[in-house]
């Protein structure tokens, strides 16, 4: 069959068994018969009566001498086009894409500019990569979980875990009981009796206070028996003793030129006062 390049062409697949009422899905793969390159993958529409069709814009014919193509249709049992039917095999049909001459004119002669532009456009279109539509892309099946392997690995781990051995605590309890009995049997240290010590301290303090009181009383008694003349003599003796004391003070002053004068020491110290005879107070 001759197909005109860049023109709509309908791909058809009719299931042979008209009595089969099952639901099927048909897909067509169009290849270049010479290079075996896939030109298009079409999911055909169900038209009812087990007839499936899809319109396709034919590929260009770059050589201008005709292009052989192969159309293979396959019947699937699922919409994802992953499982082929066991009742129907693949069908292949061959076609030729070729530009027909207009008005019965044959070939030959020089090419017109429009023919050159068409040939270049067809060649560029042929080199464009074709991407399948979203509904034509292969569906990725979800990964299957290997539950048997997972459960087997968990069982191996659980088998390695040993039961904990019971700890014998009776020796510990026995040792605690012995310690408690030892504490109970220990004699308690008797309380220290501090009364004798406190009594001795009190007695000593009382004696000291009594002595101090007697000394003060003796002094008062002596002063009472002294006459006014004797008290005057005591006062004069104390004044004389205080006047006879020599007071020497040594200090340093700074001179104008920074010289430090030597401390002046008394060359002739005053004579020491005569010792006062306390017995005169009682004469």
pLDDT tens across 32-70, in order?
A: 999 999 999 999 999 999 999 999 999 998 888 889 999
Number of H helices and E strands in the chain, helices first, is 5, 8
In 3D space, the residue among 95, 90, 115 whose CA is nearest the CA of residue 9 turns out to be 95
Architecture of domain 2-136: Sandwich (2.60)
User: Residue 193, class by beta-carbon neighbours within 10 Å (0-12 exposed, 13-18 middle, 19+ buried)?
Assistant: exposed
Contacts of 46 (CB under 8 A, 6+ apart): 24, 25, 26, 52
Give the range among 93-97, 122-126, 216-220 with minimum mean pLDDT: 216-220
Distance (Å, whole) CA 174 – CA 180: 10
In 3D space, the residue among 124, 128, 25, 114 whose CA is nearest the CA of residue 78 turns out to be 25
> Tokens 């048997």 belong to which residue?
148
- Ramachandran region of residue 36, left (φ > 0), alpha (ψ -120 to 50) or beta? left
- pLDDT given at position 132: 59
Instruction: Characterize the bridge pairing of strands 91-97 and 2-3.
Output: parallel
pLDDT tens across 83-110, in order?
A: 999 999 999 999 999 987 655 444 555 5
In 3D space, the residue among 78, 89, 73 whose CA is nearest the CA of residue 22 turns out to be 78
pTM beyond cutoff 0.85 = no
Give the domain ranges of the chain: 2-136, 194-242
Q: Is a pLDDT exceeding 50 seen at residue 193?
A: yes
In 3D space, the residue among 191, 204, 39 whose CA is nearest the CA of residue 126 turns out to be 39
* Helical residues (DSSP H) of the chain, grouped into ranges: 113-127, 147-160, 170-185, 195-225, 228-243
């Amino acid at each position: 069959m001759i197909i005109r390049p860049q023109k709509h062409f309908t791909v058809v697949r009719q299931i042979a068994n008209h009595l089969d009422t099952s639901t099927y899905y048909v897909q067509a793969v169009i290849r270049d018969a010479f290079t075996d390159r896939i030109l298009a993958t079409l999911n055909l529409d169900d038209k009812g009566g087990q007839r499936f069709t899809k319109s396709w814009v034919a590929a260009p014919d770059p050589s201008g001498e005709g292009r052989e193509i192969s159309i293979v249709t396959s019947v699937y049992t699922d919409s994802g086009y992953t499982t082929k039917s066991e009742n129907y095999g693949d069908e292949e049909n061959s076609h030729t894409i070729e530009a027909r001459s207009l008005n019965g004119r044959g070939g030959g002669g020089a090419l017109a500019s429009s023919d050159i532009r068409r040939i270049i456009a067809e060649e560029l279109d042929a080199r464009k990569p074709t991407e399948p539509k979203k509904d034509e892309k292969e569906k990725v099946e979800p990964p299957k979980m290997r539950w048997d392997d997972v459960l087997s690995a968990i069982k191996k781990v659980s088998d390695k875990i040993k039961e904990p051995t019971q700890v014998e605590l009776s020796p510990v309890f026995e040792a605690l009981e012995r310690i408690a009995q030892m504490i109970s049997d220990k004699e308690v240290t008797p309380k220290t009796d501090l009364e004798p010590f406190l009594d001795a301290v009190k007695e000593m303090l009382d004696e000291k206070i009594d002595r101090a009181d007697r000394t003060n009383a003796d002094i008062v008694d002596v002063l009472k028996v002294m006459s006014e003349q004797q008290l005057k003599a005591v006062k004069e003796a104390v004044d004389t003793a205080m006047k006879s004391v020599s007071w020497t003070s040594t200090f340093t002053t700074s001179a104008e030129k920074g010289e430090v004068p030597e401390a002046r020491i008394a060359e002739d110290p005053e004579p020491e006062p005569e010792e006062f005879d306390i017995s005169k107070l009682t004469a």
